[in-house]
Amino acid sequence: MGRWKPDAPGRLAAAALELYGERGYEQTTVEEIARRAGLTERTFFRHFTDKREVLFWGSSLLAEQLLRALDEAPAALPPIAAVGAALQAVATDFFGDRRDYAQRRQRIIAANPDLRERERIKLASLAAAVADALRRRGVPDVAADLAGETGIAVFRVAFERWVDETNRRSFSELLAASFDELQSLVGTTAPR
């Protein structure tokens, strides 16, 4: 295997992305991913439970950063504004220079129903974690659930716009525009 190199998870994720793009997700094995990364299968399984998880390895870091930013948001902010501020705080740091990677990853996920389902599960878990963080801030249950779900829905819409090939705006700009659109929608009167 040669000399030890750092960042095994990152190398495995990059190798998997390359192979999934070249051969397809279903046709790629863990052994091939490890070999392409210059590592062993054993090392792969030290970092990931299966070949799906290699595409989602950043989600726990995203959740950690988002929840920390939400905890640090000013207490006077309404719940959805606190979620928006927290998402903006992580937008540049987490997504700034990863657009090419995110685009390739999203194409692979979009082409596979199991991966799309996994993505929905990860986003639902993130929304639940945001709602729990809002409850710790004293937000009532229903408001926390609504703000958590809504904030992650806005995040998802902005992310999908950001990875679109025709997009020329930053993730931060798209996130702000999506929250503005939400605000204009909420400003309308709902039927009773």
Q: Write out pLDDT tens, residues 114-137.
A: 999 999 999 999 999 999 999 999
The confidence band for 7, taking pLDDT boundaries of 50, 70 and 90, is: confident
The tens digit of pLDDT for each residue in 145-190 reads: 999 999 999 999 999 999 999 999 999 999 999 999 999 988 866 5
CA distance 175 to 158: 5
From the number of C-beta atoms within 10 Å of its C-beta (0-12, 13-18, 19+), residue 176 rates as middle
Per-residue pLDDT at 1: 46
> Quick check: 61 and 13 in contact, CB under 8 A?
no
Tokens of 38: 């210059």
Check pLDDT > 90 for residue 94: no
Own/partner long-range contacts of 158-166 (Cβ < 8 Å, ≥24 apart): 159/95, 159/102, 160/106, 162/95, 162/99, 162/102, 163/99, 163/102, 163/103, 163/106, 165/103
Superfamily of domain covering 8-49: Homeodomain-like (1.10.10.60)
Q: Determine the pLDDT at residue 85.
A: 96
How many of the other CB atoms lie within 10 Å of CB of 138? 9
Quote the pLDDT of residue 75.
93
What's the confidence (pLDDT) of residue 4?
54
Token output for 115 = 């991966």
pLDDT score recorded for residue 58: 84
- CATH number of this structure's domain 58-186: 1.10.357.10
Domain boundaries, the chain: 8-49, 58-186
Residues 6+ apart with CB under 8 A from 60: none
Query: Residues 31, 32, 35, 36: what is their CA dihedral angle, to the nearest 10 degrees?
Result: -150
Contact at 8 Å (CB) between 121 and 89? no
